[in-house]
Amino acid sequence: EKDRVIPDNYNLRRAEFRRQLGLQPEQKLLLLVGSGFRIKGVDRALQALALLPEELRLRCVLMILGQDNNKPFVRLAQRLGINQQVHFLGGRDDAADFMFAADLLVHPAHREAAGMVLVEAIAARLPVLVTDTCGYSFHVARSGAGTVLESPFDVHRFATETTRMLTTDNRIWREAADTYLATTDIHGMARSAVDIFEEVLTC
């Protein structure tokens, strides 16, 4: 959707929404978007957060948007000692604002056929850290707007890359996203899919 594309008033909108979320300037917002928490790898995201260097971990907040039973993951966060930094916010209509406010989209899915949220994050110029088991992870690889971690999954490697991406100037990923958006028709993906289905069905 075109509302995911970074707006002209991005800086003001980002600052205002972060203020609404109660975030301080020094805090890092990690975002995970998607229903079906087990398949989306919420467990992996929680474990990785717990493994971050203490000084960085204490400045991090993980917000999870989507619908599912969160009780097993709340218990996991409690066991890991990070429950104060993890927030399950349910389904939201303002996901774009979260993307503008966030510092990193984490998507350590166990498996996923597509993953439109990855393309939406690129449109929002939000750096992405994703596993290669997501069908649309190739957009992240092609654009250079984030990092794709190869299988098999290693939570320590995911935590290390999270640390690197949170402590590196994010302009390298944002500029890569700009270049990709200028050369790739991400808004026509749905129309292209329909065209393919229609072509197959008429053969």
Per-residue pLDDT of the chain (203 residues; tens, 9 = 90+): 566 688 889 999 999 999 999 999 999 999 999 999 999 999 999 999 999 999 999 999 999 999 999 999 999 999 999 999 999 999 999 999 999 999 999 999 999 999 999 999 999 999 999 999 999 999 999 999 999 999 999 999 999 999 999 999 999 999 999 999 999 987 555 444 434 344 445 55
119, 95 contact by CB (below 8 A): no
For position 202, what pLDDT does the model report? 55
Return the CA Rg of the chain. 17
For position 6, what pLDDT does the model report? 80
Kindly state the tokens that stand for 109: 């899915």
For position 176, what pLDDT does the model report? 97
d(CA 174, CA 155): 25
d(CA 165, CA 19): 23
d(CA 30, CA 99): 10
- N- to C-terminal Cα separation, the chain: 30
CA angle 170, 172, 177 (to 5 degrees): 95
Backbone angles phi, psi at 136, to 5 degrees: -90, 10
Kindly state the tokens that stand for 76: 């996991």
For residue 175, give every residue at least 6 positions away whose Cβ sits within 8 Å of its Cβ, in sequence order, or none: none
**pTM, to two decimals:** 0.90
3-state DSSP assignment of residue 5: coil
For residue 24, give every residue at least 6 positions away whose Cβ sits within 8 Å of its Cβ, in sequence order, or none: none
d(CA 39, CA 32): 12
Q: Give the count of beta carbons closer than 10 Å to the beta carbon of residue 27.
A: 15
For position 185, what pLDDT does the model report? 82
- Compute the 3-state secondary structure of the chain and give helix, strand, coil in percent, each to the nearest 5: 50, 15, 35
